[in-house]
């Protein structure tokens, strides 16, 4: 099956917005340190770009989760595939995600991580599809709200492809393939 990618948000637009969010975080965390948690793999490109723009001391950790459910909808029950290396106790934590869709994954994940007693925990996402929300998660920093379309690039994949695109694009399938 072949597909085309239509640019939704250009590299320049994404970079400019990440800069703005970085500046907002610098103001909000003045005099503190931030501990960024990247949810692999989708969050990794965004976290690197964001971290470069944060001026307060930054530490990084990574985790990988898989959600029980079928390919298209997450059940919300999350299995930790790779856990964090460091404890969260007493830290000002920001979870960095690629996209919030139904909200199920983050709802469940934040519940697990809050039990590890961070001093504070906020959520930062590159993209949000608010129309799709099933679970009410509070997002503290959102780069872009987008319509309900399947997007790739900047860490987001379609069947593990396109994560490396430096922009956000919508996947369009050729009519002949339908």
Q: Which of 28, 101, 140, 157 is catalytic?
A: 101
Token pair 């930790």 in the structure block, residue: 80
Q: How far is the CB of 102 from ligand IMP (least distance, A)?
A: 3
Site for Mg ion in 13-52 (CB under 5 A): 42
Indicate the residue among 23 and 149 with the shorter CB distance to ligand IMP. Answer: 149
Q: How far apart, in Å, are the Cα atoms of 76 and each of 23, 101, 149?
A: 32, 11, 20
Q: Which residue is nearest to Mg ion (CB)?
A: 42
Indicate whether 104 belongs to the interface with ligand IMP (CB under 6 A): yes
Site for Mg ion in 73-102 (CB under 5 A): 98
Q: Is 175 a catalytic residue?
A: no
Q: Which helix (H) or strand (E) holds 114?
A: helix 104-114
In the DSSP assignment, the letter for residue 86 is: S
Q: Using an 8 Å Cβ cutoff, are 21 and 143 in contact?
A: yes
Angle at 67 between CA 65 and CA 69, to 5 degrees: 165
Indicate whether 74 belongs to the interface with ligand IMP (CB under 6 A): yes
Site mask for ligand IMP (CB under 6 A), range 43-72, x = bound: ------------------------------
Indicate whether 125 belongs to the interface with ligand IMP (CB under 6 A): no
Indicate whether 101 belongs to the interface with ligand IMP (CB under 6 A): yes
State the CB neighbour count (10 A cutoff) for residue 35. 22
In the DSSP assignment, the letter for residue 72 is: S
Angle at 11 between CA 7 and CA 14, to 5 degrees: 100
Binding site for ligand IMP (CB under 6 A): 42, 74, 98-105, 150-151, 156
Catalytic residues: 101
């Amino acid at each position: 099956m072949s597909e085309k990618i239509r640019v939704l948000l250009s590299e320049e637009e994404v970079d400019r917005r990440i800069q703005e969010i970085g500046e907002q975080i610098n103001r909000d965390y003045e005099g503190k340190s931030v501990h960024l948690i990247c949810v692999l793999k989708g969050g990794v490109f965004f976290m690197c770009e964001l971290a470069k723009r944060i001026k307060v001391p930054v530490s990084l950790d990574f985790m990988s989760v898989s959600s029980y459910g079928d390919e298209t909808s997450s059940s919300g029950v999350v299995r930790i595939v790779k856990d964090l290396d460091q404890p969260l106790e007493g830290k000002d934590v920001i979870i960095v995600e690629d996209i919030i869709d139904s909200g199920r994954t983050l709802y469940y994940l934040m519940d697990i991580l809050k039990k590890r007693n961070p001093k504070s925990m906020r959520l930062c996402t590159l993209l949000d599809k608010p129309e799709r929300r099933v679970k009410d998660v509070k997002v503290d920093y959102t780069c872009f709200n987008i319509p309900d379309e399947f997007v790739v690039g900047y860490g987001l994949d379609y069947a593990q492809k396109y994560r490396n695109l430096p922009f956000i694009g919508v996947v369009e399938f050729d009519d002949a393939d339908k």
